[in-house]
Amino acid sequence: MSSAGVKLALVTPAPKAQLRVLLLEDNQLDAELVLRALRKGGWDVTARVVQDEAAFTLALRTYSPEIVLADFNLPSWTGMAALDVLRSETPDIPMILVSGALGDVTAVECIKRGVTDYVLKDGLARLPEAVRRALEENHQHALRRQAEENLARKVEELARSNADLEQFAYVASHDLQEPLRMVAAYTQLLSERYVGKLDENADKFLGYASEGALRMQVLIQDLLAFSRVGRSGTPGAKVDCNAVMQDVLKTLGPAVEESGAIVTCSELPVVWGERTQIAQVLQNLIGNAIKFRGTEPPRISVQAEKEESHWLFRVADNGIGIPAESVDNIFVVFQRLHGRTEYAGNGIGLAICKKIVERYGGRIWVESQVGGGSTFKFTLPLQPPDQPEEGKP
Amino acid sequence: MKTGLRLFLVDDNPADVGLTREALATSPRHSAIESVADGTEAMAFLECKGKYASAERPDVVILDLSLPKKSGLSVLAAMKDAPKLRGIPVVIFSTSQLNDDVLRSYEMGASCYVSKPGNLADFFAAVKSIEEFWCDRVRLPRQGE
């Protein structure tokens, strides 16, 4: 049903079909021969024959031909000038040159400029087939153009709905902070004032209420941080990852020391991005490697190597590893594999890493085995981003 | 015992006004706190108009940014435009952490910008440090001279 609808909307050439021809030809005999060749080839032709620009333009507007056939040389005009007029009037009607012998160079030039085909006047037997092919090609073009337009519209819709969602997440988390601050502050005030003055249950309830409010504050802060990834600046500056690593190790210093971690790092490249965001990716990955350590002190190696179109970074550890069924889930916002009492955190770190890496046109994934450590890999393009857009290139 | 400040609080959120009063309730400085809930009222108070005809000039204004009727920044602008009010220090006390808000506040003559902390202990500490700073550390213009 729907494909029939599409076909109806477009020009479909069929044998024995009617054909409206606009013929630019000053020689009446030649015009007659052209039309006869078409009829002989199975076309039910109606035609308007014109000789100059004014008549040609008028016919384009009033006669609505399906195809234009044009002589190359006319007394007062040329076929190529006619092509320019045709294209300025409509992009959809194909044009075939029907002419005496042209040099190869001229013929190629004509095709380059948009003539669909070129038929010699002493080879008119080929004309019906040339017309059929031109219409078919035109039909395919129209289909492709329509498909491309549909695709472009869908992409635009998606981008818009994505932007709307981000805006929503940002506004929602931002506006939720204010009332939540009241809840948190006053439950805390209640606890401070009245703990021990009511009964045991009341103390417990107040404790739950303030704990919940505080946890929600952290969640909302995280959500805000997540939705800010796509909002801050343009990722177009050069960032020296070696310097970034120095900062990251300084920030993680206490955790490194406390866990006895050994972090080794190869020479890292200069990449395109925003320094704080690149730092955040490395810090989250290294921080996780320390947090999810096994019984041994963590050994973490950070490396990068150049591949065809991108840098490939690896952050490898000897930690507890990740079950195979979870390797994709871990990049989803607020996804946690462990209980809150086992490992602290809200499950926002890797989601932020993914968002940052993809913002720069890269990819992030993990290779891991339970008990066998994890290797997080991510790519960053060698080239600066053309457009600071979300998503993969 | 120290004499406190005459504080003027402009905040539409009664919960925050309550917390601010709580924070200073046990202070040894005995600050007087008066408050209004929108920008228009704030200007009426400062200019001693209408029901505020006998209002006393505050030492420090603590001003929220998002206010009904007349925004915090408009109040700030109006104060800095008025020769009689221009000399009163204005502490912006807001939830907003947007750099734009901070920058504009200072550009328009705010004395300082303090973010409202989300946590009770931090909120109390912030309010107390505002009072302590303006009461103990800073020399303020004497009134009526």
* pLDDT score recorded for residue A226: 83
* pLDDT score recorded for residue B110: 95
Instruction: Classify A260 as helix, strand or coil.
Output: coil
Please indicate if any CB of chain A lies within 8 Å of the CB of B119: yes
Please indicate if any CB of chain A lies within 8 Å of the CB of B118: yes
Residues A189, B19: C-beta atoms closer than 8 Å: yes
- The DSSP output letter for B133 is I
What's B21's domain CATH number?
Answer: 3.40.50.2300
* pLDDT score recorded for residue A233: 58
* pLDDT score recorded for residue B47: 92
Confidence label for A231 from pLDDT (cuts 50, 70 and 90) = low
Percent of chain A whose predicted confidence (pLDDT) is above 70: 92
* pLDDT score recorded for residue A391: 42
Residues B118, A217: C-beta atoms closer than 8 Å: yes
Domain range spanning residue B57?
6-137
Which of A229-243, A244-258, B126-140 has the least mean pLDDT?
A: A229-243
Quick check: ipTM above 0.90? no
Instruction: Tell which wins on pLDDT, A246 or A11.
Output: A246
* DSSP H or E stretch at residue B103: helix B99-107
Q: Own/partner pairs for A214-218, CB < 8 Å, 24+ apart?
A: A214/A184, A214/B119, A216/A180, A216/A184, A217/A177, A217/A180, A217/A181, A217/A184, A217/B118, A217/B119, A218/A346
Mean pLDDT for A182-202 is 88
DSSP B15-81: HHHHHHHHHHHT-TT--EEEEESSHHHHHHHHTT-GGGTTPPPPSEEEE-SS-SSS-HHHHHHHHHH
Q: Is pLDDT above 80 for B144?
A: no
Identify all chain B residues contacting A184, using CB atoms and an 8 Å cutoff. 118-120
The answer to whether position B132 is within a domain reads: yes
User: What residues pair up with A304 in beta bridges, in sequence order?
Assistant: A313
Q: Average per-residue pLDDT in chain A?
A: 84
Q: Is pLDDT above 70 for A329?
A: yes
**Domains contained in chain B, number:** 1
Regarding beta strands A67-70 and A237-240, do their DSSP bridges make them parallel or antiparallel, or are they unpaired?
unpaired
Residues A178, B95: C-beta atoms closer than 8 Å: yes
Please indicate if any CB of chain A lies within 8 Å of the CB of B120: yes
Please indicate if any CB of chain A lies within 8 Å of the CB of B122: no
A interface test, pick of B12, B16, B120 with most A CB neighbours within 10 Å: B120
Mean pLDDT for A311-321 is 91
Q: Is pLDDT above 60 for B145?
A: no
Residues of A at the B interface, defined by Cβ within 8 angstroms: 177-178, 180-182, 184-186, 188-189, 192, 214, 217
Report the CATH architecture of A17-144: 3-Layer(aba) Sandwich (3.40)
With CA atoms as reference, the chain B residue closest to A185 would be B120
Which of A6-20, A113-127, A259-273 has the least mean pLDDT?
A: A6-20
Identify all chain B residues contacting A182, using CB atoms and an 8 Å cutoff. 13, 15-16
Q: Is pLDDT above 60 for A277?
A: yes
Residue-wise pLDDT for A7-43, tens only, equals 444 444 555 678 899 999 988 999 999 999 999 888 8
CA separation for the pair B23, B16 (Å, rounded): 10
The answer to whether position B76 is within a domain reads: yes
Residues A192, B120: C-beta atoms closer than 8 Å: yes
Cβ-based contacts under 8 A for chains A and B: 31
The answer to whether position B120 is within a domain reads: yes
* pLDDT score recorded for residue A386: 62
In angstroms, what separates the C-alpha of A214 from chain B's closest C-alpha? Answer: 8
In angstroms, what separates the C-alpha of A232 from chain B's closest C-alpha? Answer: 12
The answer to whether position B82 is within a domain reads: yes
CB atoms within 10 A of CB A71: 23
* pLDDT score recorded for residue B113: 96
The answer to whether position B125 is within a domain reads: yes
Mean pLDDT for B31-57 is 91
* pLDDT score recorded for residue A365: 92
Q: Is pLDDT above 90 for A282?
A: yes
Confidence label for A232 from pLDDT (cuts 50, 70 and 90) = low
Q: Where are the alpha helices (DSSP H) in chain A?
A: 2-9, 28-40, 53-62, 79-89, 104-112, 127-194, 200-228, 241-251, 253-259, 275-291, 349-359
Please indicate if any CB of chain A lies within 8 Å of the CB of B52: no
The answer to whether position B105 is within a domain reads: yes
Q: Is pLDDT above 50 for A393?
A: no
Confidence label for A294 from pLDDT (cuts 50, 70 and 90) = confident
* pLDDT score recorded for residue A42: 86
The answer to whether position B142 is within a domain reads: no
Q: Class of the A234-381 domain?
A: alpha beta
Residue-wise pLDDT for A137-180, tens only, equals 888 888 998 999 999 999 988 888 878 877 787 777 777 888 88
* pLDDT score recorded for residue B98: 82
Identify all chain A residues contacting B95, using CB atoms and an 8 Å cutoff. 177-178, 181
Identify all chain A residues contacting B19, using CB atoms and an 8 Å cutoff. 185, 189
Q: Which of A178, A189, A217 is closest, CB to CB, to B22? A: A189
Residue-wise pLDDT for B97-143, tens only, equals 888 899 999 999 999 999 998 888 899 999 999 999 998 888 888 76
Identify all chain B residues contacting A188, using CB atoms and an 8 Å cutoff. 119-121
Percent of chain A whose predicted confidence (pLDDT) is above 90: 22
Residues B118, A178: C-beta atoms closer than 8 Å: no
Q: Using an 8 Å Cβ cutoff, are A283 and A258 in contact?
A: no
In angstroms, what separates the C-alpha of B13 from chain A's closest C-alpha? Answer: 9
Residue-wise pLDDT for B46-101, tens only, equals 999 989 988 888 999 999 998 888 899 999 999 999 999 999 999 999 988 888 89
Q: Using an 8 Å Cβ cutoff, are A71 and A24 in contact?
A: yes
Residue ranges of domains in chain A: 17-144, 234-381
Please indicate if any CB of chain A lies within 8 Å of the CB of B25: no
Which of A43-57, A228-242, A315-329, A349-363 has the least mean pLDDT?
A: A228-242
